[in-house]
Amino acid sequence: MMNKTELYQSVEEKASVLTELSDKIWSYAELSMLEYKSTAAYLEVLRAEGFTVQENLCGIPTAFSGSYGSGRPIIGILGEYDALSGLSQEAGAVEHKPLTEGGCGQGCGHNLLGAASLGAAIAIKEAIQAGKLQGTVVFYGCPGEEGCAGKTFMARDGMFRELDAAITWHPGDVNEVATGSNAASIQVEYTFSGIAAHAAGNPWTGRSALDAAELMNMGVQFLREHMQPKESVHYSFADAGGLSPNVVQPTAKLIYMVRGETVQKAKALLRRVDNIAKGAALMTDTTVTSRQIDGTASTVSNHVLEEVLYQNLCAAPLPEYTEDEIRFAKQLRATFDTSKLPGHRTDEDLGVRAFVAEKTQNGTLPLNRFVMPYAPSCTFSPGSTDVGDVSWLTPTAQFNAVTCPSGTPGHSWQIVTVGKSSIAYKGLTLAAKVLAGACADLMENPTLLAKAREEFTLATAEGYDCPIGKDVTPTAG
């Protein structure tokens, strides 16, 4: 059996390479599908570590992989590195302080996500190199998680199917294995075109695209009552026409996101939204075209793999935090409301809630130092992730590790400010150890992989229904 301590040591020895990489990705803060510098930084480390690199996966310039070893099993470790707009922030500041006004920031912690996944792949590579493990490890550089569901495009174009299993993680405020399912989602842009006119002089010759967009939104508000409980619809104005109110606006653009329990349900809901768009165009004598942006499938839970991740999360030493780190965490927590912290979890299980309340001293501890008990579950989470698409193609599981103070809101400047701190580095190292430990377990235990495959085959019997069409291309930004 592979000695886990050796794997942990490999991760520790590479700690400076990993944190340096994470810091670079933090400072590049590149938006979806524009992660050129980030990709170059990863490729440099992968090549230096002796991985066989494949660039431009599925024709996406910022999608890549690095593999090491030979033969089966083939275990995939997924990494992300894209940032979010409007979240530029000075590292370590305990107040909102953009580095560049309106600039981008790593508000979801993807600088840590990719670096830890790579750290695990490197530790496994070293074990294979030393003859202690057999098989192939593949690190996947998955772009555009935030903006355009990069993994869905990779899944549509044939990636991941050959894997025996895929594992990944996400930065967060609690150490826990993710279980249950996520909603499927589809994003579509609707463009209305009308005829411009002087809004007072001759409005009767004008046809307002803005009116059409407003009517579409109103139509969708009426749709909401007649949707199923696990369905949701969200929208934004990408273009409301020009700024002058005395013009009949000839163009307007809306972006809609629909979610459903499955891809089939999301597609059915989208057809109803499409009809509302057509109705709005008909009412206003304008025209409407639509373009799909992206989509994600629901997540297929794999309890066998989740259990492997859980065992490794429990086995890896949890970080100790210094007084300085605790002080920083407290200062940061003062910038957001944590009064409802224990209640923010939706666990039905009162036992789990009591456990969390006790471990966090009713939400007063600034940094969580425990592993949430794991109970395989079929719970449904209303959000979406493109890890879902991978989970339809190979047994997949994921976990969260603490990289920020408890209660830190997602997609926030607080995530950016903490992203280069020693708290974050400790979470990165923990995640790399857990992923490496789990990968080693899977490589050494064909029975585990067979059980995971059996569960996967049953759960995915209906087959992968890709939420994006054949002709849809990734949208950058």
In contact, 394 and 165? CB cutoff 8 Å: yes
Do the bridges between strand 181-182 and strand 380-381 make them parallel or antiparallel, or are there none, so unpaired?
A: parallel
Residue with smaller CB distance to Zn ion, 373 or 410: 410
Neighbours of 182 (CB within 10 A): 24
List residues bridging with 253 in a β-sheet: 191, 239
Nearest residue to 435 (alpha-carbon basis) of 42, 77, 131: 77
Point out which residues bind Zn ion (CB under 5 A): 108
Q: How far is the CB of 142 from Zn ion (least distance, A)?
A: 11
Residue with nearest beta carbon to Zn ion: 108
Report the C-alpha gap between 374 and 180 in whole angstroms.
Answer: 11
Q: How far is the CB of 171 from Zn ion (least distance, A)?
A: 8
In contact, 261 and 379? CB cutoff 8 Å: no
Report the C-alpha gap between 249 and 246 in whole angstroms.
Answer: 9
Residue with smaller CB distance to Zn ion, 108 or 215: 108
Q: How far is the CB of 146 from Zn ion (least distance, A)?
A: 5
Q: How far is the CB of 201 from Zn ion (least distance, A)?
A: 47
Residue with smaller CB distance to Zn ion, 107 or 395: 107
Report the C-alpha gap between 202 and 181 in whole angstroms.
Answer: 54
Report the C-alpha gap between 83 and 326 in whole angstroms.
Answer: 26
Report the C-alpha gap between 102 and 84 in whole angstroms.
Answer: 11
Residue 197's identity, in one-letter code, is A
In contact, 123 and 17? CB cutoff 8 Å: no
Residue with smaller CB distance to Zn ion, 180 or 383: 383
Q: How far is the CB of 174 from Zn ion (least distance, A)?
A: 15
Q: What does the DSSP 8-state code read for residue 118?
A: H
Q: How far is the CB of 109 from Zn ion (least distance, A)?
A: 7
Tokens of 441: 């377990």
Residue with smaller CB distance to Zn ion, 67 or 168: 168
Residue with smaller CB distance to Zn ion, 179 or 398: 398
Tokens of 158: 């044939």
Q: How far is the CB of 110 from Zn ion (least distance, A)?
A: 6
List residues bridging with 166 in a β-sheet: 76, 396
On the 0-12 / 13-18 / 19+ scale of CB atoms within 10 A, 217 is middle
Residue with smaller CB distance to Zn ion, 18 or 108: 108
Report the C-alpha gap between 464 and 106 in whole angstroms.
Answer: 31
Residue with smaller CB distance to Zn ion, 108 or 356: 108
Q: How far is the CB of 286 from Zn ion (least distance, A)?
A: 35
- 46-57: burial string, b at 16+ Cβ within 10 Å, e else: beebebeeeeeb
Residue with smaller CB distance to Zn ion, 77 or 108: 108
Q: How far is the CB of 80 from Zn ion (least distance, A)?
A: 6
Report the C-alpha gap between 305 and 441 in whole angstroms.
Answer: 10
Q: How far is the CB of 170 from Zn ion (least distance, A)?
A: 6
Residue with smaller CB distance to Zn ion, 279 or 410: 410
List residues bridging with 259 in a β-sheet: 185, 232
